[in-house]
Amino acid sequence: MKNIAIIIPTYNELENIENLILEILKHVPNATIFIVDDSKNQEIGKIIKRKKLNAKYFHRTKKSGRGSAVIYGFRKALDENKYKAFIEMDADFSHNPKEIPNNLNLFFKKKLDLLIASRYLKGSKIINWSLSRRILSKLSNILARNLLNISLNDFTNGFRIYTPRAVQKIISSCGNIGSGFIILSEIIIVIKNNKYNIREVKTVFINRERGKSSVNLKLIIESLIGIIKLAIIKKKLK
């Protein structure tokens, strides 16, 4: 598969990044990987250069949020004007690169604008999450589905594929109420309001084995508040 851009936001993911890049290229050998790194140092960039890993590295001087990092990567990839699909995924192996080829095949076959790997479809699995984390995630997605009145199961998993036109809309329309995880839900509203095609597929989500998660109670609360704000401005998002 050619002309595929993969955007990976990172923050202190030195333990994972080399293996992740190699694993992605094993399954999608012609993909172009964009690493957008908000870590304080540039150790990830150094290891990419030293090991001659096939990835483009962009370092931002401060931690500005996962959502804004993805949009930054979208801008860089879109500037090259050659990619037919844009993938976003996390750097901690919670999103399995093995799923990418099948997801891409379905994405192109069904002419989708957004494909979401959903943790809450029948047949999906979540591995090694605590009960409290499962409950918080499930409740936040139920809240999003009801407040936003959109019939999807997973608003907050960042393992997705987009068309160029969807990415253009995201760049021009998203980031109104925050720069973190809330952008994942905002994107869904923008895609829906433009009547673009969305589909969820099952996935196996595995909690990280290495490194420390940047998700904490503060971020979860901010996301819940963000969903309420999105419900208020939903109709304006195009």
Residue 213: per-residue pLDDT: 59
Residue 92: per-residue pLDDT: 93
223, pLDDT greater than 70? yes
Q: What percent of the chain has pLDDT over 70?
A: 96
CATH superfamily of 4-236: Spore Coat Polysaccharide Biosynthesis Protein SpsA; Chain A (3.90.550.10)
Burial 121-153 (b: 16+ CB within 10 A, else e): eeebebeebeeeeeebbeebbebbbebbebebb
Tens-digit pLDDT profile for residues 46-98: 999 999 999 999 999 989 999 999 999 999 999 999 999 999 999 999 999 99
Least confident of 139-143, 214-218, 224-228: 214-218
Domain ranges across the chain: 4-236
Residue 210: per-residue pLDDT: 63
Residue 71: per-residue pLDDT: 97
215, pLDDT greater than 80? no
Give the mean pLDDT of the chain.
93
